[in-house]
Amino acid sequence: MLAQISQWFIWLNQTTGINLTIVYDSYDRGRMIDGFLNTIYLSLICLVISVIIGVIGAWLQRSSLKWTRRLVQGYIQLFRNTPPLVQLYFFYFAIGSLMPKIENKYGIMQPILSNWDWAIISLSFFAGAFNVEIFRSGIEAVPKATVEAAESLGFNRLQVYLYVVLPLAFRVCLPALSNNLVNLVKTTSLAYAIAVPEMLYVANQIWSDNLNVPEMMTFLLFAYVFLVGILVWAMNRLERRLQLPGYGG
């Protein structure tokens, strides 16, 4: 069956010139599957970390210390108003070179954080800067009365935040959050620039080796739209499940 499909794609290449090596060439297929999985992996990790950054940042932004708030605000503005690609280069090539180094088995002093690590850090911080604002606006939608009620029940500050404010705020900002997470998945393609073998990187290698740019390009577009589609679907389901009675239409 598989062999027949491969045969058909080889035939397609010979007759029409449409060269989808990712179907019939096992090496290219393996690369592309890895790339696809790497994109998912990178997206998921950054997704989780950026949400954590968002929660912590929103919490710090309500701190009573002026400088903590300023620091968070500075972080947000810096990351939101500079290009993520330059951030990535800056982290990887500039900050990365100042990191401590350890000797690897090839006798080379290797910086402790790899391109993977930097891609994760840089993209998470980028998306996190947006998440802070999103969570903050969600938190502000929780009325003071609710917080006071929780406090009067003996919750401390952290408990109020974790058990009362956050669950409510999370529901409010889900639409904005899912929007930002979609952006994050799309932004993972930038990791190409620092040689993280995600989908765009692999596609580029394949079209360099086989000179089949249009085919790979089309494949890429549909693969990303597919991934984003899944995320949007999942977020919509989550939104419906978490819906509070009387809110949202």
Partner 1 sequence: MKRILLGSAAVLTIMFSSIAIAHADVLSQIEKRGTLVVGVKADYRPYGYLNPSNNIVGIEPDLARDVAKALGVQLKLVPVVASNRMQFLDQGRVDLLIATMTDTAERRNVVDLVPPDYYASGVNIMARKKSPFNNWESIKGAPVCAVQGSFFNEMVARKYGAKLVAFKGSAEALNALKQGRCAAFVFDDTFIAAQLQQQQWSAYDIPLKTIDSKPWGVAVKKGETRFARFMSGMVVHWHVDGEIIKLQKKYGLTPIAYSVRMHKFFDDNFVPSAN
Partner 2 sequence: MKSRNSVAKPTDLPVLMPIAERLTRGRGIGLSYDIPRLQLRAWHGLFLLGVLVFFSASAWAQQSPDHPATLAQAFIRWMPLLLKAFVFNIVMSFLAMSLGTIAGVGLGVMQLSPTRPTHAVGWFVTQFFRNAPWLVLLFFCMFLLPFRFSVFGVTVPFPDWIKATLGLALPVMANVAEIMRGAVASIPSGQWEAAHSLAFSRRQIMFGIILPQCIRRMLPPWMNLYAILTMATVLASIVGVSEVMTQTQRVLSAENRPEFIVPFYAFVLLLFFVYCYPIARYTQKLELRYAVRD
Q: C-alpha angle with apex 137: 233 to 235, nearest 5 degrees?
A: 5
Q: Of 5 and 230, which CB lies nearer to partner 2 in the complex structure?
A: 230
79 binds, among partner 1, partner 2, none (CB under 5 to 8 A by kind): none
7 binds, among partner 2, partner 1, none (CB under 5 to 8 A by kind): none
88 to 92, 120, 189, 190, 193: CA distances (angstroms): 6, 10, 12, 8, 8
Rounded Cα–Cα distance for residues 222 and 175 (Å): 24
Q: Of 106 and 247, which CB lies nearer to partner 1 in the complex structure?
A: 106
Among positions 55, 150, 172, 194, the unique one binding partner 1 when judged by CB under 8 A: 194
By CB under 8 A, residue 96 contacts partner 1: yes
As measured in angstroms, the least distance from the Cβ of 244 to partner 1 is 40
Structure tokens given for 93: 């090539």
Q: Of 179 and 205, which CB lies nearer to partner 1 in the complex structure?
A: 205
Residues near partner 2 (CB under 8 A) are 61-62, 66, 69-70, 73-74, 77-78, 80-87, 89-90, 93-95, 97-98, 130, 133-134, 136-138, 140-143, 145-146, 168, 172-173, 175-176, 179-180, 182, 186-190, 192-193, 200, 213-214, 217, 220-221, 224-225, 228-229, 232, 244-249
Among positions 60, 71, 85, 111, the unique one binding partner 1 when judged by CB under 8 A: 111
Tell me the residue length of the chain.
249
Q: Based on the number of CB atoms within 10 Å of its own CB, is 143 exposed (0-12), middle (13-18) or buried (19 or more)?
A: exposed
Q: Of 76-95, which residues contact partner 1 (CB under 8 A)?
A: 93
Residue whose entry in the numeric block shows the structure tokens 């620092």: 194
Among positions 63, 86, 209, 221, the unique one binding partner 1 when judged by CB under 8 A: 209
Among positions 7, 63, 68, 110, the unique one binding partner 1 when judged by CB under 8 A: 110
Rounded Cα–Cα distance for residues 176 and 190 (Å): 22
Q: Of 5 and 211, which CB lies nearer to partner 2 in the complex structure?
A: 211
In this chain, which stretch among 98-106, 127-135, 143-151, 228-236 interacts with partner 1, using CB under 8 A?
98-106
176 binds, among partner 1, partner 2, none (CB under 5 to 8 A by kind): partner 2
Binding site for partner 1 (CB under 8 A): 27, 93, 96-97, 101, 104, 106-111, 114-115, 193-195, 201, 204-205, 207-209, 211, 213
